Amino acid sequence: MLKIEHISKTFNPGTINEKAALRDLSLHLAPGDFVTIIGSNGAGKSTLFNAICGSFFTDSGSIYLDGKNITFQPEYMRSRQIGRLFQDPMRGSAPHMTIEENLSLAAPSGGWLSHVSRADKAAFRDKLAELGMGLEDRMKQPVGLLSGGQRQALTLLMATFNPPKLLLLDEHTAALDPATAEKVLEITRKTVADNHITTLMVTHNMHQALELGNRTLMMDSGRIVLDVSGQERGNMTVDDLLARFKAGAGKALDSDRILLSE
């Protein structure tokens, strides 16, 4: 499904601000894989997502999606096949437009704000009802009036209304309170499973990294230093994960945000 071959990216080369953000990174995902990613700030997690989305072209290497080489495909073309959620709930939807109008942009009929059919409205209502947040009764309200959790759930719905080939979740619950984060995670689990969406999810919570999905990666300095799945992953504890990170990276994980997460 997703095949990344030896990609590298250095920002500001030849200057005092030179930063090697990705270093000869390779990664293969099978259809339906749900992969969690752990790493401290600067490890290259968001940079990897940006490379996959086409926010910049890599310096070397290749990226394939569903057998097609997208290495030099522009970002707007990749967005038709790749859904993405960010940490900030304010990204991904238009605050001054209603819930219905936002969904109309994501619907298969796509973008006809003044021609939302009765069938589309019924579909919107059904999809919103599945979120269990009462948004199906607020379709005429501006998205800017929603809470962060409601808005992030709506963004997830928009990103998967037409199920993408690949879904990228960049700490999409980190800005939410614990109860709301758990609700959005449960919606995420169900959405990914129901639509069999190949998914990469960055998280700072090591327990989530081992419990969600079927595979866990750890990154450091633009490299993947651990890739674990199957029975080996199922038997791992957080302490095991830390020990394996130290063995792969040659140093202990030093992110308080990750180490203190529950």
User: In a structure prediction context, what are the per-residue pLDDT tens digits for the chain, which is 262 residues long?
Assistant: 999 999 999 999 999 999 999 999 999 999 999 999 999 989 999 999 999 999 999 999 999 999 999 999 999 999 999 999 999 988 989 999 999 999 998 876 655 555 678 888 899 999 999 999 999 999 999 999 999 999 999 999 999 988 999 999 999 999 999 999 999 999 999 999 999 999 999 999 999 999 999 999 999 999 999 999 999 999 999 999 999 989 988 888 876 566 556 5
* Prediction pTM value: 0.93
The pair of structure tokens assigned to 239 is 């302490």
The pLDDT tens digits for 57-116 are 999 999 999 999 999 999 999 999 999 999 998 898 999 999 999 999 887 665 555 567
201 alpha carbon, distance to own chain's centre:
5
Query: So what's the pLDDT on residue 115?
Result: 67
Percent of residues, the chain, with pLDDT higher than 70: 94
Strand partners for 166: 82, 198
Query: So what's the pLDDT on residue 109?
Result: 62
Strand ranges (E), the chain: 2-11, 19-29, 34-38, 60-65, 68-69, 82-85, 166-170, 198-202, 215-220, 223-229
